Amino acid sequence: PHTSWTDVICEGPDKNRPKLVFVNRSLTLENIKCYGFDMDYTLAVYKSPEYESLGFELLRDRLVSMGYPHEVLGYMYDPTFPTRGLVYDTTYGNLLKIDSNGNILVCTHGFEYLRGSVADCYCSVDEYYPNKFIQRDDTNRFYVLNTLFNLPETYLYACLVDFFTKSSRYKNCMKGFKHGDLFMSHRSMFQDIRDAMDYLHDTGTLKERTLKNLDKYVIKDPRLPVLLSRIKEVAKVFLATNSDFNYTEKWLVTNPKKLWRSYFDLVVVDTKKPLFFAGGTVLRQVDTDTGKLRIGTYTGNLQHGTVYSGGSSDIVCDLLDVRGKDILYVGDHIFGDILKSKKRQGWKTFLVVPELVKELHVWADKASMFEELKHLDIFLAELYQHLDSGSQECPDISAIQNRIKMVTYGMDLCYGKMGSLLRCGSTKTLFASQLLRYADIYSTTCLNLLNYPFSYLFRAPLVLLPHEAAVESQTKEQITELSEHVLKTSSIKV
């Protein structure tokens, strides 16, 4: 019988885990002299949605303890709602899905989807964004929820807007909610959630709860030590994490067979990425017995098993005696790990995208929907065949356009309530653009490197530019039709 796509790239006990590494830019693995790893969500993988739920609940409870109404406790994390990479508009409290140019693809207010020009209320996208466009540079107003750590927060923004919108005690305004003399601005709620988030991280509350129940929240994969050991035989290996030493130490104890530090030539904690890829900070040695920083800066040769704090990407290159282009850095943070290491230092980059498991499944399952989109396209093209700029005739395409919208929306829903991480119909998200631009290769997990020899040459698919594709991908028939169309319409009388 026919093998489905999931059978092709997965197998055995973990049937749901795709095995491939995908390539945006060709990369000769043989030339890589050094592998670097981020820790959280890269080596230390959290169980989803358990971990997000934990984060959400801690965050929600913190807000209530800060004075938010007790009704908010009623909200539970819904993993089908948030998608990574959304943008929060701190002025209007909307969650936006945008493309790389700032065009708005999806806009929600609470759990309500806002549509184009709806005349009856101010709850239309037009009312908020008449140009359906935001100036993404205005980082004071727009906050990009880039990381997997942001997912609980993303959902909580929606919950709060939902609660206050529906609560009869509060009056809805454009910039927030009013209750007597009290004004709950979206900006102040944003600040409260950000503060609560910082509180959870600074006090270690989230980490503490995670460590208490490691089995529930963390995936232990016996293949990780295998991967690190194999890499260490052929290249240098380092860890560069923003986490502190104690958390790093505790987490990596999950691989008890061998002292975890022995897998790395260099371990750097407290890296303060993205600052790490620019000026960086002072490099300190960590006393691995006490977890405290040693005073002064270590200046001798690299000693195996030593742990450092701070530093910069330049210092890492010096200590390991490698150049940026010889490093493959593996991380999950599109901005802090991938964009910055690529743009500032010219490192090779491997983005870990756990959501790909789902993205690939939906894509394979819903191939027919995408096929339909393609056919609708060809059908549309044919309608205009005999027309040019002088034509008065105007084909009625509203039915096709509606169908395209319906199919697109249908595809979106297969991914979750905010749609795919990477696209909205045929349009790519900001996240997808950054993935294409800054990640040389990407996969669901770094463990998939196990499936390739260290001499492998990852070759990027030859993506054609539209004009090249116009030549290349047309079948003879299509070319002939097109030819006829153009011949007919280009005889302009001046």
Binding mask 129-168 for its own copies (x = CB under 8 A): -xxxx-x-x-------------------------------
Q: Is 381 in the site for its own copies (CB under 8 A)?
A: yes
Q: Residues 51, 56, 68, 157: which binds its own copies (CB under 8 A)? A: 68
275 binds its own copies (CB under 8 A): no
* Footprint (CB under 8 A) of its own copies, residues 331-350: 342-346
81 vs 143, beta carbon nearer its own copies: 143
Angle formed at CA 394 by CA 388 and CA 396, multiple of 5 degrees = 135
Tell me how long the chain is. Answer: 494
> Rounded distance, CA 163 to CA 150, Å?
20
Nearer CB in complex with its own copies: 23/81: 23
Angle, in degrees to the nearest 10, between helices 151-166 and 186-202 = 140
- Is 40 tagged catalytic? yes
38 assigned binding-site residue: yes
Q: How many CB atoms lie within 10 A of CB 34?
A: 24
Interface characters, 90-119, with its own copies (x: CB under 8 A): ----------xxxx----------------
Q: Which is nearer to its own copies, 86 or 422 (CB)?
A: 422
State how far the Cα of 118 lies from the Cα of 124, in Å rounded to an integer.
6
| C-beta of residue 315 within 8 angstroms of C-beta of residue 280 | yes
Q: Which stretch binds its own copies (CB under 8 A): 77-85, 124-132, 143-151, 265-273?
A: 124-132
Longest CA pairwise span in the chain (Å): 87
Q: Does residue number 184 form part of the binding site for its own copies (CB under 8 A)?
A: yes
Say whether 326 is catalytic. no
377 forms part of the interface with its own copies (CB under 8 A): yes
Size of the residue set binding its own copies (CB under 8 A): 140
3-class SS of residue 11: strand
Site membership for its own copies, residue 433 (CB under 8 A): yes
Among 363, 408, 411, 418, binds its own copies (CB under 8 A): 363
Per-residue binder mask for its own copies (CB under 8 A), 17-56, x = binder: -xxx-xxxxx---x--------------------------
Q: Copy the structure tokens of residue 173.
A: 């305004």
Report the 10 Å Cβ neighbour count for 74.
Answer: 10
Contacting range for its own copies; rule: CB under 8 A; set: 48-56, 73-81, 268-276, 459-467: 459-467
40 is in an annotated binding site: yes
CA distances from 426 to 23, 362, 370, 441, 460 (A): 20, 15, 9, 22, 21
Mapping DSSP onto H, E and C, the string for 58-118 reads HHHHHHHHCCCCHHHHHCCCCCCCCCCCCEEECCCCEEEEECCCCEEEEEEECCEECCCCC
Residues catalogued as catalytic: 38, 40
